[in-house]
Structure 1
Amino acid sequence: MFTGIDEVDWASMRHAYGSAEDVPALLRGLASADPVEREIALDGLYGAVHHQGDVYDSTLACVPFLFALAACPELQDRGAVVELLVSIGGEGDGPSALRAALRAGAEVFAQLTADPDPGVRRTAPGALVRFLDQPARVLDLLRGRITVERDDRVLLALTESLGLFVRRNPAHADAAVDLLAAQSAPPYGPELRLAALGQLAGCAPDRIPTDLVPTAVRLLRERSEQRARRAVLCARPHSDTLVGHLRRLRPSDEEGSQLLRTLHHALDGRVTDRIALLVGQLSSPGWADRCNAVWMSGGLFRTWRADFSEPVALIGAQLAAEEDRLRDAAVSALKQLFGLAAPAADGLHTLVTARPELWVRQWERGAPTLGDPLRALIRCGDPRAVPVLGEVLAGAVVPDDLGHEISWLGTAATPLAPALRRRLGSLALDDPGTPGRAAPLLRALTVLGDTEAVPETLRLLEGSGVVEYAVPALGAWGPAARDAIPVLLRLLDTEHAVLAAAALWSVQQDASAVLPVLLGELADPDARRWGVAVEALGRMGSAARVALPELRRATESAGSAERRATAACALWRIGGEAEAVHLALRAGWVERPHLRRSIAACLRTMGPAGAPLRDLVETELAASRRHTARSDGYGSHDIPHDEELLRVCREVLVEL
């Protein structure tokens, strides 16, 4: 296995952490008889020579030895070695030398498809499809294994590999699709049929049955019944050991989750079908099926716009489940939905009132936070959260993030204002943690329009570190914060001048006092507070006409779409120059989707003058995909941001 390993100049090679001279020890660790040592070695290789998917010269040098390890029948955990090779090979975008090395050794994968170890047989088919450049032979090998394989998990891997084969080899796809179609029907069992349907939906949608969703739901329930019977037969007593504890924590049904996730992914934008499938999953008698459905619902809700009230209500029903994992999954899903979680509000309220210990979450490290059930109830705007928050504010432990969440309750949270003011007034000026505690409280009091909090806010300005939060709050309270005018005037000569000027205009509306600061910031494209200055100038309207030439230049510049759109909105508000701003607003809308909310708000103020951009608004309202949906991840507030955009777009059409 390791012939020639000491002749390789590992010290001259690199991996994620520097010299690769430790790689031979890691490779030898994969051949250890000790499973712990094997696991440590595998983890080390992923972390070093294949760190976060990257590859290095040492990665290429490892490939021959990994092949030798995978082909040695005496070794354990060889399936994990095959998985590492597949990961190193990527999906066709890796270095050509690595791809060539894997193709050169791909005959090993052909042999491993018949290996005695089911873990190896489960990983070999995917590697075979990816790296053996003989499509006809690959298909024959897959077909042959399907006829003789008896291990259910290996059969699932073979089915998944057939789908991959169809996508990679369209010239040979027909025979593979026929195999998948055969597997999707009796006499095959429900699990394999579900797997085949998922692959067909992704690579040959013309071959899926017209009653795909009812069929999938029925197969899911048949599969669950079979698993339940096996669980009774194979039940083992709970032991008070580490192994027993880990067994109870282990995900209950990884295969089932993968099967349905594959089907959801294949259906993609067929949202009606996906909702019906999700409803079927959430109505399953098996709690594991329902738990899987809850976890995979997030991708559907975050990506697409539709009426999700039925599945959301069913997720809310899981809050009464006895199984902790299911209940916790439901809470986690609902807290991401904000207003869309309203159909589950009754279930959230019941859980919150029944479990006061869940109101605040204590962490081993870090400050306490609001508990997720209460957070979800607040975020869906349910006023029943207000008395609970009153009790939390009166308690011994008040989470710092409470103020951030209160804003979702709007004016319904007004009764909480006195308690919020008292807490703001109790913050110590010399405590380094005060800025972090003050920020969410000031946000909440600003949303509530509680001008009685001006004295407490001014007191905070006697300390340090709170100006960034306190000054905008004073500005939001407008003329009611007139007692802050002397403080704001003094701040005009500090690094906080732009923030102070923006707030001072709202409080005093003295253009002569604030224009020099705002115009100075506007003139410097690299200024830190350029956007704040432009927004403030826009609020000044005709009083800021002196800024029009510079704003026109910014609107027409070759700078970022965001900067041009920001300047364009101010240009309209100050000078009413509609034609001059249309091009910049259109470019910002198209090039930077995250700007659409602010641009839509600007269009709302333009009324009929925004008519040339009507097509943008109408297209947005007709789109089924959220403007926040993206392939590289998601944000915790994607759904409410998209729902806000839709609301503002509807208001724009009314104004037009």
Structure 2
Amino acid sequence: MFTGIDEVDWASLHHAYGSAEDVPGWLRALASADTVERATALDGMYGALHHHGNVYDSTLACVPFLLSIVACEELPDRAGIVELLVGIGAESAHGDPRAREAVCAGAEAFVRLAGDPDAAVRRASAGALVHFLAAPERVLGLLRQRLRAERDGRVLRALTEALGLFVRRYPAHADAAVDLLAEQSAPPYAPELRLAALGQLALVAPARLPADLVPTAVRLLRERSAQRTRVREPCAADTLVGRLRRLRPSDEEGSRLLGTLHTALGDRVADRSALLGGQLTSPDPVDRCNAVWLAAALLRGWRGDHTATVELLGAQLSAEQDRLRDAAVTVLSELCTLAAPAADDLHTLVWARPDLWTHRFERGSPTLGGPLKALARSGDPRAVPALAQLLAGPATPADLGFELAHLGAAAAPLAPALRHRLGRIPLSSPSAARLAAPLLAAVGAVGDAEAVPQVLRLLSGAPDGLGARDAIAAQVIATLETLGATAQAAPVLRALLYTRHAAAAAGALRSAHEDVSVVLPVLLRELTEGDPASRRLAAEQLGRLGPAARAALPALRRMACSWPAQERVAAACALWRVDADPEPVLPAFRTAWAEDPHSRRPIAHCLTEMGPSAAPLRPLVAAELAAPRRHLAHAAGFGGRRAVPEDEELLRACREVLATG
């Protein structure tokens, strides 16, 4: 098994963390009788030899020894080694041809492993047949043979996935493989295998799907659930790790089966919503829990009328299973106003379970509990009484102000309590900025002009040299501007005109009706000499000055041709508001719209202001409204917390643009 291992000059080879001298020890440990030693060695090899999908010279040197190890039937836990080999040869970052060649040189091993006594090894080897054997006719023959001989359900599903991979890899030989998939998708095959085959057909041959796909999939799911052995939900500790475990699917096979089908359906939002309707009304809470996470993927990534899906998510809040309830709450809390159809269920849960108003992780500070957070983010004023109780209590969650801000004017009754807490922040504390940030967000959202003294205290009262003033200055200034920055704020704001917060301070002074001759030179300076953030903010503030900022037009025109897109858009918006000339504005908007999806919201808002002058770009706006996918979610790495509400705001702005035409 290890013949020649000592003849390799491992010290001259490298892996992700340096010298590969430790690799021979890992290889030998993979054949150890000790379970922990085997697992530790495999972890080490994944982390060092296949780090982030990369391969190294030591990785290539290991392949022959890994193939020898997996060939020994008496050794346990070989499936993980097969998966490592598949990862090295088929999934390596940058498609390193050396890695593939190294594994392909031992491809015959996977033919034997496909019939191994260990079902886990057979399962891991199914895809390897497609990845590494050179003759497609032989590969298809082996897959057909294994499908006829196999009795283990999980291995059969892996073979089905391998057929889908075969179709994608060898399209010229696809017909026979598709016929096999179609055969497996029909009786008398078991529900799990039929679901797996439907998912692969949807991926590679959607024309072969049955016309009644959704009802068929729902029926098969329920048949599978009725046959599945019930596993009692584990009692996870109330720690971060325990909560994360509760949020993982307890039936990962079921989640994968339906997840493949949802992925394959892609932009067919109506079909996916109908499928979720069947899943979320399943008698089996495990199926419903899987459906909650699949609903999350749809809501985060695709547009459409999701009212029915959100209502069904709300219906899960009355479930007895903590895992299901927590999953639904987590998804609803990401949706903000899109969660409104579930607001009644959230309200019921909030008042039925006051113990869920806050959550405290082990050794952590209290945070706002999921149900109350989701209700507040939906904009429902029924969250206010519960928030008021927490705000009056001794242990107010630190993040309460951020969530209360979603309620806007509906939270006005809480303004006195917010002012009181803002005024009690110890300015000499290192945590002053952290404590003030959520309260400032809430005060600004409520529009409490009476809070100006407490807001100003954060600047005028903060001691020099501790960094407290600088850490919170930007948000204080923004809050003062939102509140109208009354005359009593002007002296403090003028003192900031020669700091890194100059652009923000000038904008706040403008809102306090300061003479343009005071703020315009500051904004011009920041527009040409400031850092990128200051330049964008200065452009925005110049736009608010309107025609009074005509002296900035040359600099704004230069900036409207610059990079990146966010600076270009800020300058173009200012150009329109200062000069009302669409000629330099529309080209800047057109290129930025294509380059950066995050620029589309400010562009759409400005196009609304432009009225008929925006006509040349209305086709872009119409195409945006017709697009089924949330571009912002994908640009943010699919599913950032703000992705859904920001995309919904973009859609509202686009509709306003077309309405003004």
TM-score (norm 1): 0.95
Show CA shifts across 1:99-131 (max 9, x none). 101111111011101000101011111111111
Q: After superposition, what is the alpha-carbon deviation per residue over 1:281-326, rounded to whole angstroms, capped at 9, x for unaligned?
A: 1111111111100011111111111111112111111111111111
- 1:490 aligned onto 2:488: no
Confirm or deny: 8 A CA contact 1:477 1:507 kept in the other structure: no
In structure 2, relative to structure 1, the CA distance for the partners of 1:607 and 1:238 (3 Å cut) is closer
**What is the deviation of 1:496?**
2.5
SS at 1:460 equivalent:
helix
User: Which residues of 2 match residues 155-174 of structure 1 at below 5 A?
Assistant: 155-174=156-175
* Letter matched to residue 13 of structure 2: M
Matches of 1:471 and 1:561, distance apart in 2: 26
Cα 1:238–1:446 change in 2 (3 A) is closer
Alignment of 1:74-473 (within 5 A): 74-91=74-91, 93-227=94-228, 230-231=229-230, 251-461=249-459, 462-463=461-462, 464=469, 465-473=471-479
What letter corresponds to residue 640 of structure 2 in structure 1? G
**Residue aligned with 1:194, SS:** helix
What is the alpha-carbon distance in structure 2 between the residues aligned to residue 636 and residue 495 of structure 1? 29
> Out of 476, 485, 506, which is 2:482 matched to?
476
The whole-number CA distance in structure 1 between the counterparts of 2:236 and 2:410 is: 50
Following TM superposition, by how much is the alpha carbon of 1:368 offset from its aligned partner in structure 2, in angstroms? Answer: 2.4
Q: How far apart are 1:654 and its partner, in Å?
A: 2.2
What is the rounded CA distance, in whole Å, between the counterparts of 1:6 and 1:615 in structure 2?
Answer: 68
Shift in Å at residue 237 of structure 1?
12
Q: Give the aligned partner of residue 65 of structure 1.
A: 65
Aligned 8 A contact 1:442 1:470 in 2 = yes
Cα deviations by residue, 1:31-79 (Å, 9 ceiling, x for unpaired): 1111111111111111111112222222111111111111111110111
Q: How far apart are 1:365 and its partner, in Å?
A: 4.4
Pairwise CA distance, 1:367:
3.2
Q: Secondary structure at the match of 1:547?
A: helix
Are residue 546 (structure 1) and residue 551 (structure 2) matched? yes
CA RMSD in angstroms, aligned pairs only: 2.0
Letter of the structure 2 residue corresponding to residue 253 of structure 1: D
Distance 2:134 2:602 in 1: 52
Aligned mates of 2:401, 2:111 — CA distance in 1: 60
Match for 1:47: what amino acid? Answer: G
Q: Give distance in 2, aligned partners of 1:50 and 1:515.
A: 56
Residues 503, 541 of structure 2: 8 Å contact kept? no
- SS of structure 1 residue aligned to 2:560: helix
Q: CA, structure 1 residues 635+26, in 2 after alignment: closer, same or farther (shift >3 Å)?
A: same
Superposed displacement of residue 20, structure 1: 1.5
8 Å contact from structure 1 (residues 32, 38) kept in 2: yes
User: Aligned letter for 2:649?
Assistant: E
Q: Counterparts of 1:563 and 1:238 in 2: how far apart (Å)?
A: 51
Amino acid at match of 1:629: A
Question: Which of 599, 612, 615 is the matching residue for 2:616?
Answer: 612
Unpaired segments of 5 or more residues in structure 1? none
Instruction: Tell me the equivalent position of 1:16.
Output: 16
Aligned counterpart for 1:565 among listed residues 569, 592, 596 = 569
CA contact (8 A) 1:183 1:192 kept: yes
Q: Deviations over 1:400-453 (max 9, x none)?
A: 211111222121111111111111011001011010111121111111111111
Query: What is the TM-score normalised by the length of structure 2?
Result: 0.94
- Secondary structure of the residue aligned to 2:283 is coil
- In structure 2, give the amino acid aligned to 1:529: S
| Range with greater deviation from structure 2 (112-121 or 47-56) | 47-56
Could you tell me which amino acid in structure 2 is paired with residue 612 of structure 1?
A: P
Q: Note the alpha carbon deviations across 1:324-354, whole angstroms, 9 max, x for none.
A: 1111111111111111111111111111111
Distance 1:239 1:474 in 2: 46
- Hey, what does 1:45 align to over in structure 2? 45
> Counterpart of 2:53 in structure 1: which amino acid?
G
The equivalent position to 1:579 in structure 2, one of 569, 583, 605, is 583
CA distance in 2, matches of 1:54, 1:420: 52
1:485, 1:508 within 8 Å by CA — same for their partners in 2? no
Aligned residue in 1 for 2:465 = none
Structure 2 residue ranges without an equivalent (≥5): 463-468
Counterpart-to-counterpart distance in 2, 1:123 and 1:495: 57
1:236 CA drift (Å): 13
